[in-house]
Amino acid sequence: MSNKVRNESRTVEDLGEFGFIKSIASGCINRLDGVVYGIGDDCAVIGPFGDRVLLVTTDLLIENVHFILDRIPPEHIGEKSIAVNLSDIAAMGGLPRHTFVSIAVPRLFPARVLNGIYGGIKSACKAYGVNLLGGDTSSSPGGLFINVTAIGETNKDSVMYRRGARVGDRIYVCGTLGGSVAGLKILKGEIPAAPEQWPSLVLMHTRPRALIKEGLTIGSCGMATAMIDISDGLVADLGHVCEESKVGAEVQEDSLPISEDLLSLGKQYHVDVTEYALTGGEDYALLVTVPPESAREFEKLLEQKTGAKPTDIGEITAGSDVKCMTPAGRQRHLETRGFNHFTS
């Protein structure tokens, strides 16, 4: 079989989500003026406008991919659609300002549920201090689709990118890991636990919080070298930082920030919560790299400004591999590298 035939027979499943993005990334910028950064990070960066830049991001939420309609209050779906977009702006060190919401709805979709979703959207916008300025509506041949575009801003010298991590940097996480996937598995019945008995884990999945204050503090402090929000899983998103920065990473398994409720769930139902923390996704914590000489000052500042100390989970290394080491000093085998559309 010729290479041409092989290439033509490849599918998006063969490419995977990030392979597909790479395949379309070239040839997208036709005018360089006004573009600071395009495809390849949590937000596009537009400007500068004086000493400020705009941060623009968009995310698509699909029924039965990102949420289970009949197991989540409609208000939570609306809140989540806003929070996951604002998390991208937080990951770039920005302040969110405006949102646009487009939605595709089946013709026989209950108006009560749709109103509940928009109630959640408006509630989240109010809580984060952002405006809902418009969008689009369409009928859907099957399933609910919600697309949100969010716009934020920051000082041009405070933008945080995935690139920039250096060998020797400490790796920090703001927030906890693994709770969202545990909540999802509870809702789907994959863990035989009653949702009402584990409300914190279920809410980590249905009502994630964008860490705006943390992102702003990190962007403006001048100590961090790279940042990303953890949406696809720690290993996958740390892998993005390593790829963009041309470095590797070593994570210490016993340092991962796992909530007490998730640890209790793991013991009761004999599930590997460390695997959840490493690869689960949709935690929307922030992953940050900081030079070792600034590490203690960074920890102190974050705790002072946000009330929570970031967790040091490992170190940026030479090479390109992302490794997780057990307390015994062995490398942990990872069942998956995180969530990837088309292949997960």
Inform me whether the pLDDT recorded for 196 exceeds 80. Answer: yes
H/E run at residue 78: helix 74-91
H/E run at residue 197: none
Choose among 332, 338, 167: nearest CA to 239: 338
310 contacts: CB under 8 Å, gap ≥ 6: 172, 173, 174, 288, 298, 299, 302, 303
Inform me whether the pLDDT recorded for 186 exceeds 60. Answer: yes
Residues 31-155, CATH architecture = 2-Layer Sandwich (3.30)
User: What is the reported pTM?
Assistant: 0.90
pLDDT over 70 percentage in the chain = 89
- Convert the pLDDT of each residue in 221-272 to its tens digit: 999 999 999 999 999 999 999 999 999 999 999 999 999 999 999 999 999 9
Torsions phi, psi for 135 (to 5 deg): 155, -150
Q: Which of 176 and 14 is assigned the larger pLDDT?
A: 176
Torsions phi, psi for 231 (to 5 deg): -110, -30
DSSP 172: E
Band (1; pLDDT cuts 50, 70, 90): very low
Inform me whether the pLDDT recorded for 28 exceeds 70. Answer: no
What ranges do the domains of the chain cover?
31-155, 170-325
> Where are the extended beta strands (E) located within the chain?
35-37, 44-49, 52-62, 95-105, 131-139, 145-155, 170-174, 226-230, 248-252, 285-290, 311-317, 322-325
Average pLDDT for residues 179-185, to the nearest whole number? 96
The CATH topology of domain 170-325 is Phosphoribosyl-aminoimidazole Synthetase; Chain A, domain 2 (3.90.650)
- Convert the pLDDT of each residue in 269-301 to its tens digit: 999 999 999 999 999 999 999 999 999 999 999
Return the number of other C-beta atoms located less than 10 Å from residue 135's C-beta: 15
Choose among 89, 68, 84: nearest CA to 121: 84
The residues pairing with 131 across neighbouring beta strands, listed in sequence order, are 98
Q: Do β-strands 248-252 and 322-325 pair in parallel, antiparallel, or remain unpaired?
A: parallel
Cα(first)–Cα(last) distance of the chain, in Å? 28
Sequential DSSP letters for 19-43: HHHHHHHTT--S--TTEEE-SSSSS
Strand order in 285-290's β-sheet? 226-230, 285-290, 170-174, 311-317, 248-252, 322-325
Query: Are 31-155 and 170-325 in the same CATH fold?
Result: no
